[in-house]
Structure 1
């Protein structure tokens, strides 16, 4: 199993480390080129980390960038994609008050920098049923909020301001940054999604087809 992390900006190294903590058997790679998405040695899944969303938006707005064209094509074909913070904005169908470039793959509307100057960074113990009984230490940094979602979206976590974690089929998003804490359950959950997708596609080796038993392993969320 190869899981790539988009490495144009943001905490891509931290995500790669978190994936390895969740399952040391997988391969991770820093993704910068279209050939890593759809070439002979293509990844099986992609993580889009946080960062400055307008920088990537300019590449998407160009309309001819082969990397983002490949990401969108693979995601539409079922490749699991996980977006954190900026990554969730990048996957959203709608960004409130903005027409910035995005993949528009997930039926959600998001609000950028939703917590304002007074709460730009904070950490809370966040209940996420799919991650087990223990709350997850969720760190929010100039985070967005999901303000609405379509019927195909499974809401996984909310706070007073709105939705902060959700899933739609092969797409997973969180407004917080799980890569900067020691708890690897979110990344283990995503790896479980990848393994399920590969098994369903018949593309996984027999040794990988066994249920994931690493720390924090969970069954995928139900689809609506």
Structure 2
């Protein structure tokens, strides 16, 4: 980590809302870089963001580009990782309505597109433990159906789990990068620099 204690964050940039995450972190004064191919993993970095988008497309591209196994290994070995929407699906150990799984490092069961067409996209404000009330934008969002031992539930909406933490993995159903509120990204950074 640089001497000024500012972490370097890799943002998976094969598909989805990676640019918006980089903009949020830039507002917090944090350097980021895009992970698009295997050689991008040659550098040392302190955290990983898995953005929203299409999880099936991202999962396929991760394998096709040779990124899947090295990233999975780093997450398993404790690399701080923040998954939003599709990123939650990539991290989940089990998907209740899909035979596929991806990294499988987060001991939760997730339902894809949990809110159906009528609630396919919606906005609300709810409390996140350790942060307070923040805006939440949901777009064809997954939800966490159940958690295993060691998983901390950080937020619920309408009784459904939408934010969890397990060791150094933070995963949420909504899109914090689509609001001007920097709280979720700051929370993730605090995990890296040891403020929590």
The alpha carbon displacement at 1:55 in A equals 0.9
Find the counterpart in structure 2 of residue 206 from structure 1. none
Query: Who is 1:156 aligned against?
Result: 154
Structure 2 segments unaligned to the other structure (5+ residues): 1-6
Q: CA deviation at 1:70?
A: 1.1
Tell me what 1:208 maps to: none
Compare 117-126 and 26-35 and name the one that shifted more.
Answer: 26-35
Residues 164 and 175 in structure 1, CA contact (< 8 A), matched pair in contact too: yes
- Structure 1 residue ranges, 4+ long, deviating more than 4 angstroms after superposition: none
RMSD: 1.5
Could you give the per-residue CA deviations for residues 78-112 of structure 1, whole angstroms, max 9, x where no partner exists?
Answer: 10011000000000000012122410000000001
Q: Report the equivalent of 1:56.
A: 58
Q: Distance in 2 between matches of 1:68 and 1:57?
A: 8
**Contact 1:6-1:32 at 8 Å conserved across structures:** yes
How far 1:161 sits from its partner (Å)? Answer: 4.7
2: CA distance between counterparts of 1:182 and 1:142?
20
- Hey, what's the Cα distance between the residues in 2 that align with 1:42 and 1:31? 12
Task: Give the whole-Å Cα distance in 1 for the aligned partners of 2:141 and 2:17.
Answer: 14
Report the CA distance between 1:151 and its aligned residue. Answer: 1.1
- Normalising by structure 2, what TM-score? 0.92
Number of the residue aligned with 1:67: 67
Of 26, 34, 49, which residue of structure 2 is paired with 1:20? Answer: 26
**C-alpha displacement at 1:59, in angstroms?**
4.1
Deviation (angstroms), 1:65:
5.0
Distance 1:146 1:179, change over 3 A: same
Q: Is the 8 A contact 2:49 2:82 kept in 1?
A: yes
Q: Secondary structure at the match of 1:88?
A: helix
The answer (yes or no) to whether the contact 1:57–1:100 under 8 Å persists in 2 is: no
The Cα of 1:195 is off from its aligned counterpart by 1.4
How far, CA to CA, are the matches of 2:191 and 2:38 in structure 1?
A: 23
CA contact (8 A) 1:36 1:43 kept: no
Give SS of 2:118's match: helix
Q: Which residue does 2:99 correspond to in 1?
A: 99
Q: In the alignment, what sits opposite 1:129?
A: 129
Deviation at residue 121 of structure 1 after TM alignment: 0.6
Following superposition, the deviation at residue 31 of structure 1 comes to 0.9
> Do the aligned partners of 1:89 and 1:112 also contact (CA within 8 Å) in 2?
yes
**Helix, strand or coil at the partner of 1:182:** coil
